[in-house]
């Protein structure tokens, strides 16, 4: 073994000792495999839709070029198909402009790595995605001007903004800073929605609109919520539109989850778009999205914007409600140290809004002190449910993460509930006979 491998192996061994070792596992969950997928982000089961497949195949049959894009967007990869898709998405979301990225990761790294300037502040929910952190790390904003607030907590945000306002007053007269506020619409681990209007109301108290830049990452809600799959911000009427209304200035819509493809689009002003084209290295120095993906995205958005998309979104809500109606009673009997839902968000979603409250999210984290063992137990019974451990979640937040999909077989949902009940029974201690009888 060379010195490099020796050094790296020592680090891997340390990670193994901490129970944090990652390895790749592949499962065949196609029909007839005997396994049901409860881990993918294909929330609308769009990737296996026969009609969409047919539409995509006939779309590419009419194109002379269907593989790669041959270069970066600034060179040969800037095809009319890419631009047409951007225009279409800008229209669909009523956004001032749209810029495609190869992934949501690239989009966040590009935006947070370049848009905030050294005199600005970046305020972010403590649970924002790793890509936002990578972007912030690459930015020229000093560490003490990047400040987190407690997850989904308007009071914590107010405290942070109060401090920033005091600090900014000391530097009055210098260039006015922009205060960036970063959050996700639907968080990927706890399956909880951000109280977006409440957080924006707090921002309005402390920061004049002209100095705000709110960015909402809709990775887990793109295609899945709102009319035409336009997402949570649109459903709330908070997105900045072409006529200028709406407090969320930048939206990140990704295509690898509910849209069933890959890539992402950043919806922002023309100036932000032009700035990223000029300065964002992941955009400038990488081959553009392959044409095969651009055409797949056209077909996927045809589907999502049609009545088929609406039907699928409604079916997903039915599926979630079916599962929650059954897992709820099970958890009510179960000692929380065996299995429990994450703590409820400190702030309930505002009443009277068009969005469903937390349980109508397709992501259900079940906290367990032994997620690897629980995942293996479920796999033996035909259910692919993946464990999530630190550092992906904070210590103590170990869990299995159940992802529901529209149209998932109800028999499989019942089976998963039975398997969870079996697991709970195994973990019951002596003296818990009353609980055992209820399961
Ligand atoms: C909240 C959030 N943002 C961004 C990303 C990155 O998106 P992509 O998978 O398209 O790189 C993810 C992916 O897991 C995510 O969950």
Residue to probe by mutation, ligand 1, list 42, 126, 256, 293, most atoms within 8 Å of CB? 256
Q: Is the pLDDT of residue 356 over 50?
A: no
Cα 363 to Cα 377: distance, rounded to the nearest angstrom: 20
Q: What is the mean pLDDT of residues 382-404?
A: 93
Q: What is the mean pLDDT of residues 411-418?
A: 96
pLDDT for res 357: 45
Ramachandran region, residue 348 (left: φ > 0; alpha: ψ -120 to 50; beta: rest):
beta
pLDDT for res 272: 98
pLDDT for res 170: 79
At 394, the pLDDT band (50, 70, 90 cuts) reads confident
Look at the domain 69-305 and name its fold: 3.40.640
Q: What is the DSSP string of 341-378?
A: PPPPPSSPPPTT-SS--GGGSSEEEEE-S-HHHHHHHH
Cα 251 to Cα 151: distance, rounded to the nearest angstrom: 19
pLDDT for res 407: 86
pLDDT for res 351: 41
pLDDT for res 67: 96
Residue 396 Cα to chain centre, angstroms: 22
pLDDT for res 338: 94
Residue among 395, 347, 392, 398 nearest 368 (CA)? 398
Q: What is the mean pLDDT of residues 403-419?
A: 95
Could you tell me where in the chain the CATH 3.40.640.10 domains are found? 69-305
At 108, the pLDDT band (50, 70, 90 cuts) reads very high
Q: Report whether 42 contacts 410 (CB < 8 A).
A: no
Q: How far is CA 314 from CA 43, 225, 277, in A?
A: 12, 10, 38
Q: Among 91-95, 194-198, 352-356, where is mean pLDDT lowest?
A: 352-356
CATH of domain 22-43+307-438: 3.90.1150.10
Could you tell me where in the chain the CATH 3.90.1150.10 domains are found? 22-43+307-438
pLDDT for res 352: 40
pLDDT for res 430: 73
Nearest CA to ligand 1 atom 4: 104
Nearest CA to ligand 1 atom 7: 104
pLDDT for res 392: 87
Q: What is the mean pLDDT of residues 350-372?
A: 71
Cα of 22 from ligand 1 centre, angstroms:
18
Give residue-wise pLDDT tens across range 250-260.
999 999 999 99
Q: Is the pLDDT of residue 173 over 70?
A: no
pLDDT for res 43: 97
Cα 339 to Cα 333: distance, rounded to the nearest angstrom: 10
Give residue-wise pLDDT tens across range 11-51.
999 999 988 889 999 999 988 999 999 999 999 999 999 99
Residue to probe by mutation, ligand 1, list 107, 125, 219, 231, most atoms within 8 Å of CB? 219
Cα of 219 from ligand 1 centre, angstroms:
6
Q: What is the mean pLDDT of residues 267-280?
A: 98
Nearest ligand 1 atom, CA 262: 10
Of 173 and 186, which is predicted with more confidence?
186
Q: How far is CA 305 from CA 60, 126, 154, 227, in A?
A: 20, 33, 33, 8
| Ligand 1 binding pocket, CB closer than 6 Å | 103-105, 108, 129, 131, 184, 188, 217, 219, 254, 256, 264
The pLDDT mean for the chain works out to: 92
């Amino acid at each position: 073994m060379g010195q490099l491998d020796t050094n790296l192996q020592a680090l891997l061994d340390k990670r193994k000792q901490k129970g944090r070792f990652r390895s790749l596992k592949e499962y065949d969950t196609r029909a007839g495999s005997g396994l049901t997928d409860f881990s993918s982000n294909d929330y609308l089961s769009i990737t296996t839709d026969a009609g969409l497949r047919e539409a995509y195949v006939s779309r590419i049959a009419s194109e002379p070029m269907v593989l790669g894009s041959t270069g970066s967007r600034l060179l040969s990869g800037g095809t009319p198909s890419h631009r047409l898709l951007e225009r279409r998405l800008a229209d669909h979301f009523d956004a001032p402009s749209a810029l495609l990225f190869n992934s949501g990761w690239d989009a966040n790294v590009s935006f947070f790595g370049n848009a905030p300037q050294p005199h600005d502040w970046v305020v972010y929910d403590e649970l924002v995605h790793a890509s936002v952190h990578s972007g912030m790390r690459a930015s020229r904003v000093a560490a003490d001007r990047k400040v987190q607030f407690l997850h989904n907590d308007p009071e914590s945000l107010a405290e942070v903004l109060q401090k920033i306002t005091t600090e900014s007053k000391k530097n009055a007269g210098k260039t006015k800073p922009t205060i960036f506020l970063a959050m996700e619409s639907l968080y990927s681990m706890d399956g909880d929605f951000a109280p977006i209007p409440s957080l924006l109301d707090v921002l309005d108290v402390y920061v004049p609109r002209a100095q705000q830049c709110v960015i909402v990452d809709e990775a887990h809600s793109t295609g899945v919520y709102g009319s035409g799959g336009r997402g949570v911000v649109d459903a709330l009427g908070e997105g900045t539109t072409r006529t200028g209304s709406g407090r969320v200035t930048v939206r990140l819509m990704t295509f690898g989850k509910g849209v069933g493809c890959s890539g992402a689009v950043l919806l922002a002003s023309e100036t932000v778009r032009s700035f990223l084209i000029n300065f964002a290295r992941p955009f400038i120095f990488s081959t553009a999205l392959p044409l095969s993906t651009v055409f797949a995205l056209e077909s996927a958005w045809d589907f999502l914007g049609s009545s088929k998309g609406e039907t699928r979104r409604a079916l997903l809500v039915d599926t979630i409600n079916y599962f929650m109606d059954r897992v709820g009673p099970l958890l009510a009997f179960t000692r929380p140290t065996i299995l429990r839902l994450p703590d409820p968000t400190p702030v309930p979603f505002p009443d009277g809004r068009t969005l469903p409250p937390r349980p109508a999210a397709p992501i259900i984290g079940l906290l367990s002190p032994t997620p690897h063992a629980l995942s293996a137990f479920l796999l033996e019974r035909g259910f692919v449910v993946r464990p999530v451990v630190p550092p992906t979640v904070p210590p103590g937040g170990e869990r299995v993460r159940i992802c529901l999909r529209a149209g998932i077989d109800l028999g499989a949902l019942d089976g998963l509930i039975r398997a969870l009940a079996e697991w709970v029974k195994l973990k019951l201690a002596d003296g818990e006979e009353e609980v055992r009888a209820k399961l």
